[in-house]
Amino acid sequence: MATLATKNLTLADLARRYDPKSGKIAKIVELLNEDHEILDDAVFVECNDGTNHKTTVRNGLPSGTWRRLYGGVQSTKSSTEQVVDSTGMLEMLPHVDVDLVDKSKDKAGTLMSEHTPHLEGMRQDVEATLFYGDTDTYPDRFMGLHPRYNVLDAGDDTLSGYNVLGGGGTGSDNTSIFLVGWGDQGCHMLYPEGSKAGLSMENLGKELYDADDSSGKFLAYVTRYKWDLGLCVRNWKTTGRICNIDVSALEAMSSAADLIKLMIRLSERVKLTGLRPAFYMHERVRTMLRLQILNHTNTNLTFETIEGRKVMMFDGIPVRKSESILLTEAAIS
């Protein structure tokens, strides 16, 4: 049986460490992870500078001296630079009519059923930002993977573009496949220093709200959900992207990107040793990957049982679905 063991903690792992008397955080985390596999995979690391995280990245290695007898050795040092990643604050304030809750036989269940759509909205916001968040455009969010890997490979293996492969598509009906190596030395999520994995729930009691039909006010139970989080790519070599995948050509199987070859090439370039890797793609792309596999005698695609669930694997790497990955990306050159 395959495993996805890692020394880093996922959101669910962190939630299990909380005092259950302090709230329903564990249950909320389970809801957040349903059908959002990237949140199930992602590891979380506490910020080391309040709401920011400072990472020292080594960007140059020293060269040794070939010494002759009685010859000297030059003093050496490596070069580094410091990168700062920020976190964003995502909040929701769902309010539920007091009478709806109080007249129910299951008050807690009724309240949670009304909160579920809000939690779904939060996880969709987080997942979309994880891929496409751009602090240059939206400074109140965090920087996602798309803007970090948005320059095509130019053959220079010292630049992050080396891990960006193109599928040949043009125009604006393209999509991407991401390969992420999760871990504290690779790619990881952030939560502010001193907080509980960035997710908190607070019951604010009863408050008056204006009715949507402008008929007056009504009394409602109000809950505050707050999720502070960010993303850090400690080492660009541990993550990569296949872009310019023409969706219409892919599904028509005409001049389509060869997903198998591209995924093999990317998995060879991305450094995954000691990390928790996973591919992420839209459901329609994963469907086409399975269909392309049918044309090959030796298949790279398998299904394995991991932690009691059937997981699609490509060369031993889980292949995950994400509806947050767009099918309308503009091609990059």
- pLDDT (tens digit, 9 = 90+) per residue, 209-223? 998 888 999 999 999
Alpha carbon 146 to chain centroid, angstroms: 11
Domain boundaries, the chain: 11-57+82-321
What pLDDT, on the 0 to 100 scale, is given for residue 294? 82
What pLDDT, on the 0 to 100 scale, is given for residue 22? 46
The SS3 call for residue 170 is coil
Q: How far is CA 224 from CA 201, 228, 244, in A?
A: 6, 13, 40
The SS3 call for residue 219 is strand
What pLDDT, on the 0 to 100 scale, is given for residue 34? 53
Amino acid at 124: Q
pTM above threshold 0.75: yes
Q: For residue 72, which phi and psi values (nearest 5 degrees)? A: -95, 170
Give, for all 333 residues of the chain, the pLDDT tens digit: 344 444 555 655 555 544 445 444 455 555 554 567 898 899 999 999 999 999 876 655 577 777 777 776 777 665 556 789 999 999 999 999 999 888 888 888 888 888 888 888 888 999 999 999 999 999 999 999 999 999 999 889 888 999 999 999 999 999 999 999 999 999 999 999 988 776 788 999 999 999 888 899 999 999 999 999 999 999 999 999 999 999 999 999 888 899 999 999 999 999 999 999 999 999 999 999 999 888 766 678 888 877 777 889 999 999 999 999 999 999 998
Average pLDDT, the chain: 85
Neighbours of 23 (CB within 10 A): 15
